[in-house]
Structure 1
């Protein structure tokens, strides 16, 4: 279980002597084990910052973060990873000289047979024959790197997996596979928690719980059946929580079928 208690995150205002801007404003939230939670809201509302605070990439100004009964407010990223928290970046890093298979093995913490690597890549819409021996460098498109990172999260199998806009830069065919993967993980691993930052309606519809974040505060939250009707999806985007238009999926990176 993850507990955020009166969390505050402030940053200095550019040019100001002592003035600060509050990005996360006295936020409290509990995510139970085995729940699929989607955090949504307008751009600039603090969603990605909140995810980074949970992972330890940013440190809160005040408040506390408790994971499975242990206070991790000031724990390092490595310590949180060892406790079972995983994080998928909105813009994943590239590793020149690092091949995809090796990256998957590092994530899993063990040697992996090719068949198991194949399964992880297939779940994110990549053909293993074309990717296992490739380097995770600039030769890969943004969408390809994003899918490989999600595959490493599957290999890692954390107790709580946090994904920051996993749909960004992914083509429609791969997005279909990705939503199926999230659904399968949730249905088959009820001891694992999934937290996704997303504007995408199809991902939001997978959630057990939806959190609407605006101006660093929770505007609304609750079970999907209660919150989804309030979002008011239309062709122009959200209305109920005044969210921005869902991320446009790119059709220029369609994978080659195996």
Structure 2
């Protein structure tokens, strides 16, 4: 179980302070899938980076399976059981895809299991297993390889930041199957940041973040009517601005 308690994060902004997260509190139960959605720039990725240790909150706590991990760095949080797939994955010149997957799994994967992971995210294993993780890979290829690296090891909690970005429809369908496997078969906890309707409809609960605040959190029946209303409102504003 993950608990976020009163997370607040401010950054310097043109001589003042800008609030990126404002008193964020929620929890993710064991085996639960929480989908976080909301407008761009609303604080979704900032929250994910705070949960994994890239950003440090000014106040509040992060509790994972009863352990306070607020002061732990990203490596220690990974060891504690958090897996994370970046929206824009980093590159590692000189490292092969197979080496990355084996490192992610702490060398517990066979060559065949590495190939199976690549297939699961829509990549031809024989074409990618010995490729270097450098600038020759496209953004979409990097995205899929990083998702495979998260899937390489079982975690208490997996966090995916817009996993649908940069992948084709066929790969997306395979990714959905993987999320279903993690959620329903392996009973691992999932946080997925997404705007994609299919992913949102998979959620046990949905959380909407805007302006660094939780606007709504609850089941699909509780949140989807609110979300649909917000989207209609935004479309009306866009039409009005287009006419101005």
TM-score, normalised via structure 2 length: 0.92
Matches within 5 A, 1:85-96: 85-96=82-93
2:242 maps to: none
Shift of 1:112: 2.5
Q: Residue 208 of structure 1 corresponds to which residue in structure 2?
A: 204
- Paired residues in the alignment total 236
Inter-CA distance 49–141: structure 2 relative to 1 (3 Å threshold): same
Contact 1:2 1:31 in 2 (8 A): yes
Match of 1:4 in 2: 4
1:241 shift after superposition: 8.8
Deviations along 1:142-194, one digit per CA (max 9) or x if unpaired, are 1001000000000022110001111111111111111111112111111x111
- Is the CA contact 1:231–1:240 (under 8 Å) kept in the aligned structure 2? no
Per the alignment, residue 226 of structure 2 pairs with 230
| 3-state secondary structure, aligned to 2:146 | helix
- Superposed CA RMSD in Å reads 1.8
1:84 aligns with 2:81: yes
**1:61 aligned onto 2:54:** no
- Structural mapping, 1:184-203, within 5 Å: 184-190=181-187, 192-203=188-199
Are 2:39 and 1:42 equivalent residues in the alignment?
yes
Q: Residue 70 of structure 1 is aligned with which of 58, 62, 67?
A: 67
Aligned to 1:250: none
Q: Give the alignment partner of residue 239 of structure 1, picking from 223, 232, 240.
A: 232
User: TM-score, structure 1 length as denominator?
Assistant: 0.87
Deviations 1:36-80 (A, max 9, x none): 110100111110000011001000011111111111111111111
Listed as ranges, the gaps of 5+ residues in structure 1 are 246-258
The answer for the alignment partner of 2:136 in structure 1 is 139
For residue 151 of structure 1, the aligned residue among 143, 148, 151 is: 148
Residue aligned with 1:38, SS: strand
**Alignment match, 1:109:** 106
Change (3 A) 1:135 1:179: same
After TM superposition, the structure 1 stretch with the greater mean CA deviation from structure 2, 105-114 or 152-161, is 105-114
Structure-2 separation of matches of 1:78 and 1:94: 17
Contact 1:142–1:169 (CA under 8 A) maintained in structure 2: yes
Distance 1:3 1:32, change over 3 A: same
Conservation of the 8 A alpha-carbon contact between 1:205 and 1:228: no
Between structures 1 and 2, the one with greater helix share: 2
Structure 2 counterpart SS, 1:50 = helix
Q: Secondary structure at the match of 1:161?
A: strand
Runs of 4+ in 1 over 6 A off after TM superposition: none
